[in-house]
């Protein structure tokens, strides 16, 4: 099933350009690359600006452009830090529905809670749950207008991930970071270790009954991946997932344990995913440790997102 995201925009001009050209653009930053990887062709998006949600679009194409600092419609942005960002990562969109709705509507409560607890719009995108997507699919009216696409005669590239910092060359090559691992794990976990996790926590459900969502805000922070029943009846069942690129330490176990205790009595447990674990990770009945690794990884090489997704292995280690 397709995922649904709200893309957070920083100003009205950006919003108007996105709507005019049915186009979303993301900067040459790790957050921009993360968003580009996280949202796939066939997914659905809406624009979020000024506590209002605009329109529903289907992603039809993803393109990364070279020399994007010279490409319309967005000019480069320079911040007080003197860093300049431009928009090499683009999503081409097909508008499905037309609406302009406030975030205070109860249909947006899942995303609104994330916004409130995170204290604003600094995050690039928010993944909504299935119930939100169903509701949005009935909002406003079906779009039957003409779509004006922006023609760009420019060279493209496929962004790559490298595992040595000296090989980084932004925006073509990014050093492997936790955000990238989070995105990869979100796509992989349901078909790999979720069944083991449900058995470990005594949950008599199929993995197909659950949906795997991106970051979920909590009063004391946020979990990297949030797993819940797609169609709860009476009560829900939650699993909280933390992802670490390196070795999980005692503080990581304590952090996830704290999230479990503060979130809800419907939370059945947590999954801690890391490259390796300290002994303390194995002494908590509420946390399932899962080791990640990439098969046949050459740290001097560079890899596409799809290559890493194929290479990624998740393995329960108890």
Which ranges in the chain are annotated with CATH 3.10.590.10? 4-157
Q: What is the pLDDT of residues 71-82, one digit of tens each?
A: 999 999 888 888
292 within 8 A of 181, measured Cβ to Cβ: yes
pLDDT of residue 22: 96
Q: What is the pLDDT of residues 151-195, one digit of tens each?
A: 888 999 999 999 999 999 999 999 999 999 999 999 999 999 999
Q: What is the pLDDT of residues 222-239, one digit of tens each?
A: 899 999 999 999 999 999
| Whether the predicted pLDDT of 119 surpasses 60 | no
Average of pLDDT values for 111-116?
A: 83
Burial call 219-239: b when 16+ CB within 10 Å, e when fewer: eeebbbbbbbbeeeeeeebbb
Which ranges in the chain are annotated with CATH 3.40.1350? 178-316
Question: Looking at the domain 4-157, which fold is it?
Answer: ph1033 like fold (3.10.590)
- Please state, rounded to an integer, the average pLDDT across all residues of the chain: 93
How would residue 281 be classed by pLDDT, with cut points 50, 70 and 90? low
User: Measured between alpha carbons, how far is residue 155 from residues 50, 151, 172, 243 in Å?
Assistant: 34, 12, 12, 35
Phi-psi sector, 299: left (phi>0), alpha (psi -120 to 50), beta: alpha
Specify the CATH number for 178-316; select among 1.10.3470, 3.40.1350, 2.60.120, 3.40.50: 3.40.1350
What's this model's pTM, rounded to 2 decimal places?
0.95
104 within 8 A of 115, measured Cβ to Cβ: no
Q: What is the pLDDT of residues 34-73, one digit of tens each?
A: 999 999 999 999 999 989 999 999 999 999 999 999 999 9
Q: Determine the Cα–Cα distance for residues 161 and 175; give it in Å rounded to an integer.
A: 6
């Amino acid at each position: 099933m397709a995922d649904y995201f709200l893309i957070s925009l920083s100003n009205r001009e950006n919003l108007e350009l996105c709507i005019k050209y049915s186009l979303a653009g993301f900067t040459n930053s790790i957050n921009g690359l993360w968003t580009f990887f996280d949202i796939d062709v066939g997914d659905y998006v809406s624009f979020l600006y000024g506590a209002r949600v605009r329109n529903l679009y289907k992603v039809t194409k993803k393109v990364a452009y070279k020399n994007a600092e010279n490409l319309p419609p967005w000019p480069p942005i320079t911040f007080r830090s003197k860093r300049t960002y431009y928009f090499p990562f683009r999503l081409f969109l097909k508008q499905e529905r037309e609406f302009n709705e406030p975030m205070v509507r109860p249909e947006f409560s899942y995303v609104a809670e994330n916004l409130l607890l995170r204290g604003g719009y600094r995050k690039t995108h928010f993944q909504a749950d299935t119930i939100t997507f169903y509701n949005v699919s009935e909002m406003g009216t079906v779009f039957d207008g003409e779509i004006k696409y922006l023609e760009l005669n420019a060279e493209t590239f496929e962004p790559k991930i490298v595992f040595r910092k000296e090989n980084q060359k932004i925006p073509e090559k990014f050093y492997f970071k936790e955000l990238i691992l989070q995105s990869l794990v979100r796509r992989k976990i349901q078909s790999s270790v979720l069944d083991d996790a449900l058995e470990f926590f005594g949950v008599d459900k199929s993995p197909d009954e659950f949906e795997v969502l991106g970051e979920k805000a909590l009063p004391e922070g946020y979990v990297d991946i949030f797993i819940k029943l797609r169609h709860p009846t009476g009560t829900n069942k939650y699993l909280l997932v933390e992802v670490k690129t390196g070795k999980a330490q005692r503080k990581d176990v304590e952090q996830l344990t704290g999230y479990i205790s503060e979130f809800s009595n419907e939370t059945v447990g947590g999954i801690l995913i890391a490259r390796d674990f300290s002994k303390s990770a194995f002494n908590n009945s509420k946390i399932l440790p899962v080791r990640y690794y990439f098969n046949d990884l050459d740290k001097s090489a560079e890899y596409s997102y799809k290559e890493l997704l194929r290479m990624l292995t998740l393995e329960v280690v108890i």
